[in-house]
DNA sequence: TCTCTTCTCCGCCAAA
DNA sequence: ATTTTGGCGGAGAAGA
């Protein structure tokens, strides 16, 4: 490298693949960085180079059967690595932990600034010892197994993603996008991350309608009939008093027991769930109607605009105005109806 | 935007 | 002996 370079060097993002890898974990992260890279070409920001590697290179057969082309990881020798990303593999309740990949990780983690596990990729990181004493998360179905197999790591079911020192881990599948966005935000700032998110959201929203409950919540309570019913009840009574005490009564438990049971079985606090469900409703109203923000707030159970605004900032990091603007900028074909003002 | 009030959530602990 | 319950208190977050 010659003295002063006007352009920042490309950050090398290494994604480590193995047989049985979950393709979505790979794709969610790779696409996010790819978009960030394209975005950075129009600006002067640093940018990324993504490499998919495996032990021998060549085609890797994913869990779903689709094959991905990779380079042998020996080709990385001598190159500075910025971030190592380990995707998960299927099935999530009994994830594969290939020994050669773990060994490579152990030998090469020192070279990287950050090491990240997506979904059950956390298992490989835990197996390499990099996560000892650190807080990590993984796919919700695997969190118990992780805690059992690796007593030295602190497994946490609550967050979408966790950063503990240089080790980042995320929950299942598409949560890899959230992780990647967080990494991009750390590197390039909030504005770039939001811009990338905006492009990704456009892409992700296309398939269609917002589900009644967020996919995450439904997945989390799928095998828990009590709380699954409670969630449905909450979704139908968003305008009422939904304080924890009330929810406990509905669920037929003492307040303290309810709090504890809910947090440990669902993996998030009751108050957080109420906020999420009201957010779901607000977003649905904003994307399918032309209600004013005041009306959206009222109809989603937030009482007034200030509360709606606070919830958006807390849960999504944007104001309702910013969110609505993004939705309005989507292609008309991906929306149900139009709400246009500006 | 600020202060004041209320609520959430978690540790503690005795009781079941 | 071990696990679960639920009341209490309080720090800090959320709301008025």
**DSSP assignments along A277-289, one per residue:** HHHHHHHHHHHH-
Specify which residues A169 forms β-bridges with: A117, A162
Question: Residue A283 — left, alpha, or beta (φ > 0 → left; ψ -120 to 50 → alpha)?
Answer: alpha
Closest nucleotide (C1' vs CA) to A268 is B9
Torsion of CA A88, A91, A92, A95, to 10 degrees: -60
Considering A45-59, A101-115, A151-165, the range whose residues carry the highest mean pLDDT is A101-115
Q: Is the pLDDT of residue A19 over 90?
A: yes
Q: What is the mean pLDDT of residues A284-305?
A: 83
Residue nearest to nucleotide B6 (CA to C1'): A243
pLDDT tens track for A65-107:
999 999 999 999 889 999 999 999 978 888 999 999 999 999 9
For chain B, which bases have at least one atom within 7 A of a protein Cβ? 7-12
How many other CB atoms are there within 10 angstroms of residue A55's CB atom? 19
pLDDT band at A160 (very low <50, low <70, confident <90, very high): low
Higher pLDDT, A173 or A237: A237
Q: In chain A, what percentage of residues exceed pLDDT 70?
A: 80
| Helix%, strand%, coil% for chain A, nearest 5 | 50, 15, 35
DSSP state letter for A336: S
**H or E, element range at A313:** helix A305-315
DSSP state letter for A120: T
| Residue A336 · residue A208 · CB < 8 Å | no
Half-sphere exposure of A53 (CA within 13 A, CB side): 24
- In what order do the strands lie in the sheet containing A67-72? A58-61, A67-72, A48-54, A11-16, A83-86, A114-118, A167-170, A161-164
Q: Length of chain A, please?
A: 342
pLDDT score, position A133: 84
Taking the CA atoms of chain A, what radius of gyration do you get in angstroms? 21
What are the E-state strand segments in chain A? 11-16, 48-54, 58-61, 67-72, 83-86, 114-118, 135-136, 154-155, 161-164, 167-170
* Least confident window among A53-57, A136-140, A212-216, A291-295: A212-216
Helices A23-41 and A175-188 meet at what angle, rounded to 10? 30
* Least confident window among A12-21, A215-224, A279-288, A292-301: A215-224
pLDDT score, position A258: 96
| Residue A25 · residue A96 · CB < 8 Å | no
Q: Is the pLDDT of residue A338 over 80?
A: no
For chain C, which bases have at least one atom within 7 A of a protein Cβ? 5-8, 14-16
Closest nucleotide (C1' vs CA) to A259 is B9
pLDDT band at A40 (very low <50, low <70, confident <90, very high): confident
Give Cα separations from A233 to A149, A212, A259, A262 (angstroms): 37, 12, 17, 15
pLDDT tens track for A102-155:
999 999 999 999 999 999 999 999 999 999 888 788 887 788 888 889 988 888
| Residue A203 · residue A197 · CB < 8 Å | no
pLDDT score, position A321: 86
**C1’ C9 / CA A256, Å:** 13
Supply the mean pLDDT for chain A.
81
pLDDT tens track for A214-259:
555 555 565 677 888 898 888 888 999 999 999 999 999 999 999 9
Confirm whether any atom of chain B, the nucleic acid strand, is less than 7 Å from CB of A263: yes
Closest nucleotide (C1' vs CA) to A307 is C15
pLDDT score, position A89: 92
pLDDT score, position A309: 93
Asked if the bond preceding A18 is cis, omega within 30° of 0, the reply is: no
Confirm whether any atom of chain B, the nucleic acid strand, is less than 7 Å from CB of A272: yes
**H or E, element range at A220:** helix A215-221
Cβ-7 Å neighbors of strand C: A 253-257, 260-261, 275, 303-304, 306-307, 310-311, 314
Considering A196-205, A208-217, A274-283, the range whose residues carry the highest mean pLDDT is A274-283
- For residue A92, the SS3 value is coil
Confirm whether any atom of chain B, the nucleic acid strand, is less than 7 Å from CB of A307: no
Give one DSSP letter per residue of A156-191, joined into a string: -SS-SEEEETTEEEE-STTHHHHHHHHHHHHHH-HH
Residue nearest to nucleotide C7 (CA to C1'): A256
Q: What is the mean pLDDT of residues A264-278?
A: 89
């Amino acid at each position: 490298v010659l003295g002063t370079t006007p352009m920042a060097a490309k950050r090398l993002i290494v994604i480590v693949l193995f047989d049985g890898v979950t393709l979505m974990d790979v794709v969610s992260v790779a696409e996010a960085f790819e978009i960030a890279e394209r975005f950075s070409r129009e600006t002067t920001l640093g940018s990324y180079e993504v490499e998919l590697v495996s032990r021998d290179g060549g085609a890797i057969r994913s869990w779903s059967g689709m094959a991905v082309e990779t380079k042998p990881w020996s080709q990385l020798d001598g190159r500075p690595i910025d971030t190592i990303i380990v995707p998960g593999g299927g099935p999530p309740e009994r994830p594969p932990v290939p020994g050669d990949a773990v060994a490579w990780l152990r030998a090469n983690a020192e070279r990287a600034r950050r090491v990240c596990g997506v979904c059950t990729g956390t298992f490989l990181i835990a197996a390499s010892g990099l996560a000892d004493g650190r807080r990590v998360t993984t796919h919700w179905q695997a969190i118990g197994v992780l805690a059992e197999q690796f007593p030295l790591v602190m497994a946490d079911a609550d967050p979408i993603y966790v950063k503990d020192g240089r080790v980042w881990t995320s929950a299942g599948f598409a949560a890899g996008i959230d992780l990647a966005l967080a990494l991009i935000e750390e590197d390039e700032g909030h504005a770039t991350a939001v811009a990338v998110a905006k492009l990704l959201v456009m892409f992700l929203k296309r398939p269609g309608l917002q589900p009644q409950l967020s996919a995450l919540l439904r997945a989390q309570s799928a095998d828990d009939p009590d709380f699954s019913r409670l969630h449905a009840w909450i979704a139908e009574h968003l305008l009422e008093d939904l304080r924890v005490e009330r929810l406990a009564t509905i669920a037929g438990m003492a307040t303290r027991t309810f709090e504890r049971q809910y947090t440990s079985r669902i993996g998030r606090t009751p108050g957080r769930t109420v906020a999420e469900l009201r957010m779901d409703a607000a977003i649905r109203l904003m994307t399918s109607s032309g209600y004013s923000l005041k009306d959206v707030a009222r109809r989603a159970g937030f009482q007034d605009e200030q509360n709606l605004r606070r919830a958006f900032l807390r849960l999504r990091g944007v104001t309702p105005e910013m969110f609505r603007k993004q939705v309005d900028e989507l292609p008309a074909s991906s929306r149900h109806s139009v709400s246009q003002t500006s």
